[in-house]
Structures are given as structure tokens and as C-alpha cells.
Amino acid sequence: MTAILGEDYNYLGSAGELYVGDGMWHPDGIYQELPFAKLGMYLDPLTPATGSLRVVPGSHLQGWEGNLDTRALWGIAEDEVPCASFDNRPGDVTIFNLNTLHNSLKGGYRRRVIFMGFAAHARTPAQVDFLKARLPEKMYSELFLANASPGLMTHLRQPLELRGQMPAN
């Protein structure tokens, strides 16, 4: 993640998800002030025919919002949108900018994935305000913090400080 977001990137949390069916083309947010990234580790084999991730290259620069009706916007069906798609084997990892338009078509009923969220370190007052407005009230569990190595704490420090939750040494 360092190569993408810098040495002092912020770790924002993780989640396990089970997806079923199709989704609409969408970004996960509009993060113009600060780069955000999502890492996904897939637990099931997926192909474009069974619901693997599809992305629209370059779309992270366009400022799209919400779920997109491709028929109304461009006059084409969701499966006609020019995109890149990938075969995923269990354990494969994808990383993408949260502004990227993405989708999963022909998803079936078993698409398990573990997600991790990251953001670049906020450096300007505007970036700090932007990041703080998007952080949950409680960042990490006490158990997680008690077991965090000094290296991991580098990536937890800014979110904890912004929430006033930095543990005492």
C-alpha cells in the first residue's frame, strides 16, 4: 500500500462480505481531497461469467456518484459498458481507488470477499477535515490496538488522533 498511498498511509478498517446477484455500476464514494483505496481478497473462484470484479479504467478521475443507470446515461446495458474484468482465484487480491466505477455482473449467490480500506495521510487542513468527516466514531477495537505492532501503529495514528482515541503508551 506504501507504493500507492505513501509511507504513512492510514488503515481504516476491514470487513468480510457476502455478495449475491448483480450490482449496478458505482464508485464507493467521491474522495477528491484525498486518495482512498480498497483492497479485496477473494475467497471464491470468480470469472466475468460468475461475478468477478469489473472496473472502468480511468473512471476514478471523472467524479461519478452513486449507482449509475447506464441505459439512461449512455444508452447501453450494464454488460455493454467498456471495462476490464478479471478471473479471481481464492486468495487473489485486487486494489482500486474508491472513485473507480466498478460492478459485478452475473454474480450468483456466493461471492465472498474480505475488504480492507486505506487512505493517504492527510497533510493539509482541508484534507484533515475531509478525512475526519469520513471516519467512524470508534476506529478500532481495544483488542486490535492492544496487539498492534509499532509498524501497524504508524497506519493507525492519524485516524486515532483525529478521533481523540490515541492510546496511552
Contacts of 94 (CB under 8 A, 6+ apart): 39, 40, 42, 53, 86, 88
* Residue 148 CB neighbour total at 10 angstroms: 16
Q: Where are the domains of the chain?
A: 2-124
Residues across the chain = 169
Angle, vertex CA 17, rays to CA 12 and CA 22, nearest 5: 120
CA–CA distance, 28 with 78 (Å, rounded to integer): 17
Q: Of 30, 44, 36, which is closest to residue 13 (Cα–Cα)?
A: 36
Residue 109 in contact with residue 20, Cβ under 8 Å?
A: yes
Residues 47-91: tens digit of each pLDDT: 988 888 999 999 888 888 888 888 998 999 988 999 999 899 999
Which residue has 485486487 as its cell numbers?
Answer: 94
Spacing of C-alpha 65 from chain mean position: 15
Which pTM value belongs to this model? 0.86
Query: What is the spatial order of strands in the sheet that 102-103 belongs to?
Result: 84-85, 54-55, 102-103
Please determine, for residue 14, whether its predicted confidence score (pLDDT) is greater than 80: yes
Higher-scoring residue by pLDDT: 19, 100? 100
- Within 20-137, strands assigned E span 36-42, 54-55, 84-85, 93-97, 102-103, 111-119
pLDDT of the residue at 67 = 83
Superfamily designation of domain 2-124: q2cbj1_9rhob like domain (2.60.120.620)
